[in-house]
Homo-oligomer: A and B are copies of this chain.
Amino acid sequence: MKDKLLYEGKAKQVFTVADNPELLVLSYKNDATAFNGVKKAQFQGKGRYNNLISAKVFEYLHQHGINSHFKEALNETEQLVEKTTIIPLEVVIRNVAAGSIVRRIGVEEKRIFNPPVIELFYKDDDLGDPLINDQHALLLSDSTPEDLKKIKAMALQVNEQLQAFFKEINLQLVDFKLEFGRNAAGEIVLSDEVSPDTCRLWDIATGEKMDKDVFREDLGDLVTVYDNILSRLEAKQ
């Protein structure tokens, strides 16, 4: 099925698919990176957890009416997706203040955002993925105001669905990052991954951090935490 390596990112390899230019294979790596690539490590099994967790998330979102690139998990570390032209925006939704927003604008950690805060970052590693405003997004992303409105509305819908999804396994969805792309039909669809690498998830009972912050802040064993999330997801079905 998979053909040529098209691109290698920090967390995934992207392969073309033989005889179908509208599909890609995403192969999840064991690498963990943080702080724009400054902190790096490898964790045996991490790629498998992110692939399987992300697949479950996209299946749930599909069942709840969210259009995405996701087709199917192919094996333990790979998934088949629709090829999209990625819109170079990282769309962050925050339900609770944590991480960079606390340092950037001085809001108190754990402050509840109601409505959730939407932030746009320009997906550009050389510039350090800077925060941008809507006007910058229009200049930089080749999107129309309607596209941006659609992207934000979709991100808020994903937030509603994901809050419910994670609550069922006793996790609070603090914040997360999404990427959107345009498929061959020109539709804007949710792309990339949704995993504990791209979400902040706090255990509802204990408050424990159960996401990449375990790596960022050296809080414990990342693989144990990701294994715990996958077990909870498997148990709920």
Q: Are A118 and B104 in contact (CB under 8 A)?
A: no
Least CB distance from A118 to B in Å reads 6
Alpha-carbon distance between A133 and B140 when the two chains are bound, in angstroms: 16
Of all chain B residues, the one with the shortest Cβ separation from A116 is B135
Interface: A122 (CB within 8 A) = yes
Least CB distance from A107 to B in Å reads 7
Q: Are B106 and A135 in contact (CB under 8 A)?
A: no
Interface: A220 (CB within 8 A) = no
Q: In terms of DSSP, what is the predominant structure of the interface of chain A?
A: mixed
**What does the 1/0 interface line of A158-202 toward B look like (CB < 8 Å)?**
000000000000000000000000000000000000000000000
* A117 CB contact (under 8 Å) in B106, B107, B113, B136: B136
* A132 CB contact (under 8 Å) in B105, B124, B139: B105
Interface: A151 (CB within 8 A) = no
Interface: A119 (CB within 8 A) = yes
Interface: A99 (CB within 8 A) = no
A interface, size bucket? 20 to 34
Alpha-carbon distance between A134 and B131 when the two chains are bound, in angstroms: 12
Q: Which residues of B contact A126 (CB under 8 A)?
A: 106
Known: A120-B133, A133-B119, A133-B134. A127 touches B104 (CB 8 A): yes
Q: Which residues of B contact A132 (CB under 8 A)?
A: 105, 131, 133
- Interface positions, chain A 128-149, Cβ under 8 Å from B, are 130-136, 139-140
Known: A127-B105, A130-B105. A135 touches B122 (CB 8 A): no
Of all chain B residues, the one with the shortest Cβ separation from A103 is B127
- 8 nearest A-B residue pairs (beta carbon): A133-B133, A117-B135, A104-B130, A106-B127, A105-B136, A105-B122, A131-B131, A105-B130
Which residues of A come within 8 Å of B, CB atoms?
104-107, 113, 117-120, 122, 124, 126-127, 130-136, 139-140
